[in-house]
Chains A and B, each alone.
Chain A
Amino acid sequence: MLNFFNLIITDIKISLRKKNESIISILFFIFSILILPLIFQGDKDILKRFLIGIIWFLTLLTIIFSIEKLFENDYEDGTLDQIYISGIPLETIFLSKSLSVWIITCLPIIILTPLLILLFDLQAEKIINIVISLLIGTPILCMIGAVTSALVLGFNKGTSIISLITLPLYIPVLIFGIEASNSEIIFNQISQEFKILIGYLLIVVAISPWIGGLALRLKYR
């Protein structure tokens, strides 16, 4: 358990030092949202209707950009080998990497989203919905991305095909994430979309470490 946190802390420290790389994906997200009024020519109604979908789509793109080479640096500089022979299970390595990329990329997005949305006069309760659905949905996106990254590790050819194969797995998160963000929370009643999203999260949390660990293990055969 201690090793799990050591790996995460080191990853966060490295990404904070490599400011350019980590900030660029967040800047991409912010600027993309800020230029939306230009794209919709100031039509607030259309913008409001599509805003949530756009936020989810941009979140997905930001995660895909940041997660593509999640294990690559460690693999190429020999660190992954050293972590592996330190006896830390590959599943733990996978989980720590997924969590660190979530902290580095998704947490700033989740914090920034309400502030950015305020610029577009969206209802306060929708903002809460978006934040909660992002909190549930982004770990799913990160874990699917991390599995893809583990699968393509060390392959020079066919990486785009493997990336395409896992692409459909993101789509339910987008569909239910957007629906959950738009759904109405009536007192303590959780909407169906939130339940499905939570269900998907639990499945991904339960399965992805094993698939990710297995994909990494293929490199050590």
Chain B
Amino acid sequence: MSFFEIKNISCIRGNKLLFKNLNFKINNKELLVIKGANGSGKTTLLKILSGLLKPISGSIIINKKNINILKDEYFKYFEYIGHENAIKTALTVRENLNFYLKIKRNLTTKNFEKAIKIFNLKDLLDIKVENLSSGEKRRVSLSRLILSNSKIWFLDEPTNGLDKINTVNFFKILKQHLQLNGLAIVASHDDIKIKNKNINLSVN
């Protein structure tokens, strides 16, 4: 039995069938990469997996339980980094991270220093996000992964805006997460060097 499984998921958005009867299983230490052209439904699939959208049919099973039964309990299993950074430009980096530390049950202050160090945010901590570059904003957003103690990472184009060094750094972190019994489902156009399963969504 796999830790995370989706069964016969179908989705229609705006009268367009994005995917039909999609199935996959993923277990501890495994990475699933979602590939596909623009508009193929990668973001939608990730939103469905993270409970932000409902599929028209099918079920999502985690740890042998259907997420519809788990309801809000499901949210503590994963950390989702969407296409948008979900950070407030009027706040500083520290205030943004503190905001999420306060409201998200799966984040812990224990790893704050570690997150800052890994994503090289020390000098940016007290700077307003509106003054950061897009790569720096992405690093702030990704730092939530380190703060999180969730087993699953759902990542939508995580390296968007990152330079080469930070992209390599990010994949190292992803690899470490998998080695520590984590799972990750990533929508990405990158050529990911980590051993992975993949699914390819087509536009039609």
Contact = CB atoms under 8 A, between A and B. Distances in A.
The 3 closest A-B pairs by CB, nearest first: A78-B84, A78-B86, A17-B90
Contacts of B52: 81, 84-85, 220
Contact of B104 (A17, A86, A220): A86
Number of contact residues on A: which range applies? Answer: 20 to 34
Contacts, number: 69
B105 interface: yes
Given A78-B84, A82-B100, 14 more contacts: A3-B102, A13-B91, A14-B88, A77-B85, A77-B89, A78-B86, A81-B82, A82-B82, A82-B104, A85-B50, A85-B51, A86-B103, A88-B103, A220-B51
Interface residues of B, number: 28
A43 B83 CA distance: 58
A214 B42 CA distance: 26
5 contacts: A17-B128, A77-B88, A78-B84, A78-B86, A88-B103
A15 to B, nearest CB: 8
A157 B29 CA distance: 45
A83 to B, nearest CB: 7
A87 B86 contact: no
A46 B88 CA distance: 47
Interface of A: 2-3, 6-7, 10, 13-14, 17-18, 76-79, 81-88, 220-221
Given A14-B91, A220-B53, A221-B53, A76 B103 contact: no
Given A13-B95, A17-B90, A81-B52, A87 B105 contact: yes
Contacts of A17: 90-91, 128
Contacts of B103: 3, 6-7, 83, 86, 88
A85 B88 CA distance: 17
Given A17-B90, A78-B84, A85 B75 contact: yes
A3 to B, nearest CB: 5
B162 to A, nearest CB: 17
Contact of B84 (A2, A76, A86, A220): A76
Nearest to A82: B86
A86 to B, nearest CB: 4
Nearest to B102: A6
B153 interface: no
B174 to A, nearest CB: 20
A14 B105 contact: no
A157 to B, nearest CB: 12
A81 B86 contact: yes
Given A84-B52, A85-B75, A88-B103, A14 B90 contact: yes
B143 to A, nearest CB: 13
Given A77-B85, A79-B88, A85 B53 contact: no
Contacts of B100: 82, 86
Interface in B65-88: 72, 75-76, 80, 82-88
Contacts of B51: 85, 220
A88 B71 CA distance: 12
B90 A77 contact: no
B87 A77 contact: yes
B83 A78 contact: yes
B25 interface: no
A76 B51 CA distance: 18
Nearest to B95: A13
A7 B42 CA distance: 30
Contact of B88 (A3, A10, A87, A220): A10
Given A87-B105, A221-B53, A6 B99 contact: yes
B54 interface: yes
B82 A78 contact: yes
Contacts of B85: 77-78
Nearest to A76: B84
A76 B82 CA distance: 11
Nearest to A79: B86
